[in-house]
Amino acid sequence: MEAVKATAEGTTTIETRKVKAFGTEASTAPLQPLNIQRRTPTPYDVEIEILFCGVCHSDLHTVRNEWHGTVYPCVPGHEIVGKIVSVGSHVRKFKTGDLAAVGCLVDSCRQCDYCKDGLEQYCEKGNTGTYNSPDKYLGTRTYGGYSESIVVDEAFVLRIPENLDLAATAPLLCAGITTYSPLRHWKVKSGQKVGIVGIGGLGHMAVKLAKAMGAEVIVYTTSPSKFEDAKRLGADDVVLSKDESQMQRYAGKLHFVLDAVSAQHDINAYLRLLRVDGSLALVGAPEHPLPVAAFSLIPSRRSFSGSMIGGIPETQEMLDFCGKHNIVSDIEMINIQEINEAYEHLLKGDVKYRFVIDMKSIKR
């Protein structure tokens, strides 16, 4: 099968081939098997056989059109690890047989100041997401990792440290970088007290990463049932956020807070934990605006900030850091046929802490 691509140089014919995937045809439909077209590798592309793909809450938001803008069919998945099965003639970083990973981004303009700084996630022209973004080659939408294989420009493909468990590495590509990037940007280090709000897919990674950066880690959770697990993950202390007196324990004492909660919550209660010049970075995205009192910020020069995934160089840095510190995600493995059931567990927060799809199940 063929598709046509218009470029500045003229019209180029792009060959494609049919690939098995799982996705939806409508916001209310369950995920089911479907076929998609992948381009054959251009000179700069690698083709990856997908071995494992993590299940991110964004997948669910997108297939159900909860953030609007979903174009169907939709094939989600942006926590991809696999093995390279073919490479284009100009590919330098990879060879057939290498392990490789793809995260939330598969392209960007590569020319704006942000792209040049390795901040492709903030590309001025808009980055190309791994799924549900306009596909520059085929004119369709991009299709993600719930599929047999994917073809990506090598510039957006990451190397995987040899020592890490491959399935448990998949969630690093979104949950890992989303928490690593703000911890690095706000310079978390030894001697600092860092609060992590919410222990889920993102939060459990944040605990491990902040601990490996040398910080004293305090976890904030609404569930007493998560206390023990937070400690096992590396937390130095755990605070029940519903308990006003426990919330006083670190008031004005934290250097940084990473807030991974997507539900509505009182952000002022967490801003008040910060020292002078401290920042709270939001990585979860509550649906409604969060009321912020001026006096939560002004008297201690605090900042309420946000952060979104990470750029390609920093994603590689994160993977290398995880290799060095032997950090992976806590996962529950599923087959692709169980994906709709897994989404129901995800909605209830009933997963420790990330579902990962064993993609060989798609070949059945």
Instruction: Return the DSSP state at 283.
Output: -
The Cα–Cα gap between 29 and 147 comes to: 18
Decide if residue 308 touches its own copies (CB under 8 A). yes
Asked if residues 89 and 278 have their Cβ atoms less than 8 Å apart, the reply is: no
Nearer to its own copies, 12 or 248 (CB): 248
Asked if residues 142 and 131 have their Cβ atoms less than 8 Å apart, the reply is: yes
The Cα–Cα gap between 12 and 221 comes to: 54
Pick the binder of its own copies from 14, 166, 297, 351 (CB under 8 A). Answer: 297
The continuous run of DSSP H or E covering 85 comes out as strand 80-87
Nearer to its own copies, 87 or 271 (CB): 271
CB 198, min distance to its own copies, A: 14
Plot region of 88 (φ>0 → left; ψ -120 to 50 → alpha; else → beta): beta
Decide if residue 284 touches its own copies (CB under 8 A). yes
Total of chain residues touching its own copies, rule CB under 8 A = 34
CB 221, min distance to its own copies, A: 20
**7 CB-near residues (< 8 Å, 6+ apart):** none
Decide if residue 305 touches its own copies (CB under 8 A). yes
Nearer to its own copies, 123 or 213 (CB): 123
Plot region of 288 (φ>0 → left; ψ -120 to 50 → alpha; else → beta): beta
Q: Which two tokens stand for residue 302?
A: 């605090």
CB 53, min distance to its own copies, A: 24
**282 CB-near residues (< 8 Å, 6+ apart):** 259, 267, 304, 305, 306, 307
Decide if residue 313 touches its own copies (CB under 8 A). no
Decide if residue 114 touches its own copies (CB under 8 A). yes
Widest pairwise Cα distance in the chain:
67
Residues 13-42 that bind its own copies (CB under 8 A): none
CB 80, min distance to its own copies, A: 22
CB 318, min distance to its own copies, A: 16
Pick the binder of its own copies from 185, 189, 231, 360 (CB under 8 A). Answer: 185
Nearer to its own copies, 211 or 265 (CB): 265
Indicate the residue type of 234: G
Residues 221-280 that bind its own copies (CB under 8 A): 267-268, 276, 279
Nearer to its own copies, 121 or 169 (CB): 121
Of the candidates 183, 131, 172, 173, the one whose C-alpha atom is nearest the C-alpha of residue 307 is 183
The Cα–Cα gap between 269 and 48 comes to: 45
Decide if residue 307 touches its own copies (CB under 8 A). yes
Decide if residue 289 touches its own copies (CB under 8 A). yes
The Cα–Cα gap between 362 and 364 comes to: 5
Pick the binder of its own copies from 246, 303, 337, 361 (CB under 8 A). Answer: 303
Decide if residue 292 touches its own copies (CB under 8 A). yes
Q: Which two tokens stand for residue 210?
A: 């902040």
CB 314, min distance to its own copies, A: 12
Pick the binder of its own copies from 17, 26, 295, 347 (CB under 8 A). Answer: 295
N-terminal to C-terminal alpha carbon distance within the chain? 24
Decide if residue 285 touches its own copies (CB under 8 A). yes
Nearer to its own copies, 48 or 282 (CB): 282
Decide if residue 291 touches its own copies (CB under 8 A). yes
Asked if residues 151 and 141 have their Cβ atoms less than 8 Å apart, the reply is: no
CB 301, min distance to its own copies, A: 5
Locate tokens 């697990």: which residue?
229
CB 14, min distance to its own copies, A: 30
Binding site for its own copies (CB under 8 A): 114, 119, 122, 185, 267-268, 276, 279, 282-286, 288-308
